[in-house]
Amino acid sequence: MSTTKEKKISRLIPQVMILFAIGIIVTGIITFFTQRSLSDSAIRQQTEARASEIGKLVKASIREYPAYERLLSYWYTNSGEMDIEYDAEYGPDTETAAKCLDFSKRHPDVQLKYVTEREFDSLEPEDRRLYAEITYSWLITRLNQIKRSNQIDYLFCVATDESYGTQFFLLSAADPGATRGTSYEEVYPLGHAVTVGQDQQEAMRHARAYSSHLASAGVYVDYYTWLGDTDGHPVFIGMTYNLSGMRASAASQANKETLYAMIFQVFLSVICLLLVFWFVLRPLKRVQESIRLYKQTKNSGAITEKLKEIRTRNEIADLSDDITDLASEIDDYIGRIETITAEKERVSTELSMAARIQSAMLPHIFPPFPERNEFDIYASMNPAKAVGGDFYDFFLIDDDHLGIVIADVSGKGVPAALFMMASKIILQSCAMLGGSPAEILTKTNEAICSNNQEEMFVTVWMGILEISTGKLTAANAGHEYPVLRKPGGQFELIRDRHGLVIGGMPGIRYKEYELQMSPGAKLFLYTDGLPEATDAEGNMFGNERMIAALNRDPDAPPALVLQNISSEVDGFVKSAEQFDDLTMLCLEYVGAAAQQSGSRCEPAV
C-alpha cells in the first residue's frame, strides 16, 4: 500500500511539469498569434498611411494642371484617337518635346503647363488633342517617378460606371522596361477596360463615401482615393501593394519573439518549480507523513512534534496547525465514541432483556390450556420499537370463566412498556379478586389514577367468557371496536359503548354488555396499530381492509386468522417503517360437549 502511495506522490512533480509545459505551449501559441495579429495590423496601418500620402501626392500632380478635369474627360472620350508617348524621358530628342515645340509655335502666348479650362475649350480640336497628348506623357512620367520612388506594385487612375463593375484605365504607371499591354499583370494602356470583382467594387464604393479606402485582396491590398467625377463617371486613384514580403518579414520576427518568450517562460518555470518544491511540496510531504503516522499510532502527540518542523509562514503552516488540532479532537472524539458505544451496547442489552421480559409477561405458549377443548385462542404482539405499550392477556378466573384483555398504552418505547407492565399486573390482580368486567375496569382505573404522575393512560377492552354457556360479558374503556363472526357468517364490527380511558380521570364508572357466543363463533380483538398501519404514501390500512382480510378465510383457526392479517398488513405497508405497536387476539368458541348443537351467537345488552 505504501509503495503505491509513494508512486502517486512521486508523480506530482512530473504532473506539475506537464502543467507548466502546457502553459508554456499555450503562452507561445498566444504570443505567436498575438504578434502576427499586431504585425498585420501595423503593416495595414503603415500601408494605409503611406498610401494616403502617395494618394495626396498623385492627386496634387494631376490637379497641378488647371484644366485637369477637361483633360480627364478628353482622355476618357478620345482614348482611341490619341498618339501617346508612354514613359517618355525629359529631353529635346523625345517625341513629346517635339510636340511641345509645335504647340508653342502655334500658341506662343499660352504656357503649356498652366492652360486653363477656358483656354483648353478655345483650342482647335487638333491643338486640343496635341495638348492632351503632351500633358498625358508628362503626367505618366511623373506617376512613374512616384511609383518607383515609393515601391508601389501598381499605381493607376481609373474611371468607373455607376455599378462600379468596370474600370476604365486613364493613367497607369510603369517601371523601366515594363510591358504595356492588356494581359494580366501587364501595365494597361489608356482606354483599356477591365471587369472587377465584388471586393474591388465595395472598395470603390467606400472610397467614394469616405474619400479613401484600403481593401485586402489575398497577399495584395488595394487603396483607392476618390479624385472626382468625369462626365458622371467616378474617377479614382488606385494603388496596389504586394505585402507578402512584409508579412514574411513580420512572421519571421514574430517567430523570433515567440521563441524568446518561450525560452523565458522555460527559465521562469524552472525557477517556479524549484520554489514550489522547496516551499510547498516538501512541507506537504511532512504533513502527509504526519497523517500516516497518526493513522498508524492514533497518537496526536507524535504528529504534533513532527509538524513543529514545518516553519513556513503561509497556509501550509496553518494546515499543519489545523491537522494537529484535528488529531487532538479526533482522539477526544474517539474516546467519547467508545464511551457512547459502550453505553449504547449496555442500553441495547438492557432493552433486549426488557423485550424478553415483556414478552415473557404475555401468554406466549399456544395452546395455552391444552386440557380445555371448549375454546381456541391465539394472540400476538409486534412492538414498533424494542419494547411496546400494547398488551394482551387471557386467564382462567375459575374453571368456568375465561378472562380476556387487550390494551393499548399511550406512547411508545420504554415508558409505555413500563406503564403497560404495571397496568397488566393491576388489571389481572383486580380480575382475580372477582367481579364483572365493568367493576374490574373501575377498580383498575382508581388504582392507576391514584399514582399517575406522568398522566399516561391505557385503552382496555375486557371480556369474561362463561365457558359452559358461551355468554360473554364485556366492557370497553376507550378501545377499538371488537369484531365478531357468527357461525357460518362473516366478520362484522360490534360498535359497543365506549367508556373513558383507564388513567384519564378518577371516579369513572364503566358499563358492560353481553354477547352470546354460539359454537363456531369467533371474536377478533386488536389495537389501533392495525387500522392505522401506514404505507409510504401516507395511506392507512383502515377498518374496511381489516374486515375484508378477515373474511377472505373466515373459517380459518385463530392462529391462521392472525397470520393472514399480518400478511395483508405487510403487503400493504411494504417498505414503510412501522409507526405503532400492533397487537391482535382471536378467540374461537367451540362450546361444551353438551351445548355444541342448537346454539346461536347473538348480541344482548
User: Tell me: the pLDDT tens digits for 350-384?
Assistant: 666 766 776 677 898 999 999 999 999 999 988 87
pLDDT beyond 50 at 604: no
Q: What is the bridge-based pairing of β-strands 166-172 and 154-160?
A: antiparallel
Residues 142 and 69: their CA atoms lie apart, in Å, by 18
pLDDT of amino acid 510: 95
pLDDT of amino acid 131: 92
Q: Is 590 helix (H, G, I), strand (E, B) or coil?
A: coil
What's 176's DSSP letter? T
pLDDT of amino acid 594: 36
Q: Among 3-7, 117-121, 562-566, 594-598, which stretch is predicted with the lowest mean pLDDT?
A: 594-598
Q: Which residues contact 27 (CB under 8 A, 6 or more apart)?
A: 261, 262, 265
The mean per-residue pLDDT over the stretch 186-214 comes to 89
Please tell me which residue, 365 or 288, carries the higher pLDDT value. Answer: 365
pLDDT of amino acid 310: 65
pLDDT of amino acid 473: 96
Please tell me which residue, 519 or 36, carries the higher pLDDT value. Answer: 519
The beta strands (E) that lie in 257-353 are given as none
Per residue in 382-441, pLDDT (tens digit) is: 887 766 778 999 999 999 999 999 999 987 777 888 888 888 889 988 988 889 999 999
For 391-428, give the DSSP string: EEEEEEEETTEEEEEEEEESS-HHHHHHHHHHHHHHHH
Please tell me which residue, 178 or 510, carries the higher pLDDT value. Answer: 510
Q: Is 474 helix (H, G, I), strand (E, B) or coil?
A: strand
pLDDT of amino acid 1: 46
Average pLDDT over the chain reads: 84
The mean per-residue pLDDT over the stretch 476-494 comes to 95
Please tell me which residue, 320 or 111, carries the higher pLDDT value. Answer: 111
For 227-285, give the DSSP string: EEEETTEEEEEEEEEE-HHHHHHHHHHHHHHHHHHHHHHHHHHHHHHHHHIIIIIHHHH
420 closest CA partner among 451, 394, 389: 389
The mean per-residue pLDDT over the stretch 571-583 comes to 87
The mean per-residue pLDDT over the stretch 304-313 comes to 64
Give the position of cell 387500522: 531
pLDDT of amino acid 460: 96
Reported as a pLDDT band with limits 50, 70 and 90, residue 9 is: very low
Given a contact cutoff of 8 angstroms between Cβ atoms, the answer to whether 532 and 572 are in contact is no
pLDDT of amino acid 597: 42
pLDDT of amino acid 317: 65
Q: Among 152-166, 333-347, 427-441, 461-475, which stretch is predicted with the lowest mean pLDDT?
A: 333-347
pLDDT of amino acid 598: 40
Phi-psi region of 598 (alpha: psi -120 to 50; beta: other; left: phi over 0): left
pLDDT beyond 50 at 600: no
What's 594's DSSP letter? G
The mean per-residue pLDDT over the stretch 200-205 comes to 90
Q: Among 2-16, 314-328, 408-422, which stretch is predicted with the lowest mean pLDDT?
A: 2-16
pLDDT beyond 50 at 599: no
pLDDT beyond 60 at 262: yes
% of the chain beyond a pLDDT of 70: 86
Please tell me which residue, 323 or 229, carries the higher pLDDT value. Answer: 229
pLDDT of amino acid 217: 67
The mean per-residue pLDDT over the stretch 81-92 comes to 78
Q: Which residues pair with 472 in a beta bridge?
A: 465, 515
533 closest CA partner among 567, 557, 499, 558: 567
Count of beta carbons in the 10 Å neighbourhood of residue 251:
15
Given a contact cutoff of 8 angstroms between Cβ atoms, the answer to whether 437 and 475 are in contact is yes
Count of beta carbons in the 10 Å neighbourhood of residue 83:
9
pLDDT beyond 80 at 540: yes
Given a contact cutoff of 8 angstroms between Cβ atoms, the answer to whether 461 and 479 are in contact is yes
Q: Which residues contact 533 (CB under 8 A, 6 or more apart)?
A: 540, 541, 569, 572, 573, 578, 579, 580, 582
Q: Where are the alpha helices (DSSP H) in 503-550?
A: 542-550
197 burial type by CB count under 10 A (0-12 exposed, 13-18 middle, 19+ buried): exposed
Reported as a pLDDT band with limits 50, 70 and 90, residue 287 is: confident
Q: Which pTM does this prediction carry? A: 0.49
Residues 591 and 587: their CA atoms lie apart, in Å, by 12
Reported as a pLDDT band with limits 50, 70 and 90, residue 602 is: very low
The mean per-residue pLDDT over the stretch 28-43 comes to 78
Give the position of cell 398488551: 391
pLDDT of amino acid 169: 93
Given a contact cutoff of 8 angstroms between Cβ atoms, the answer to whether 150 and 54 are in contact is yes
Provide the CB-side half-sphere exposure for 85 (13 A, CA): 18
H or E stretch covering 69: helix 68-77
Give the position of cell 476618357: 76
Reported as a pLDDT band with limits 50, 70 and 90, residue 318 is: low
Structural domains of the chain, ranges and CATH numbers in brackets: 64-242 (no CATH), 363-604 (3.60.40.10)
Q: Which residues pair with 560 in a beta bridge?
A: none
Count of beta carbons in the 10 Å neighbourhood of residue 133:
22
Please tell me which residue, 270 or 224, carries the higher pLDDT value. Answer: 224
Rg (CA), the chain: 58
pLDDT of amino acid 306: 65
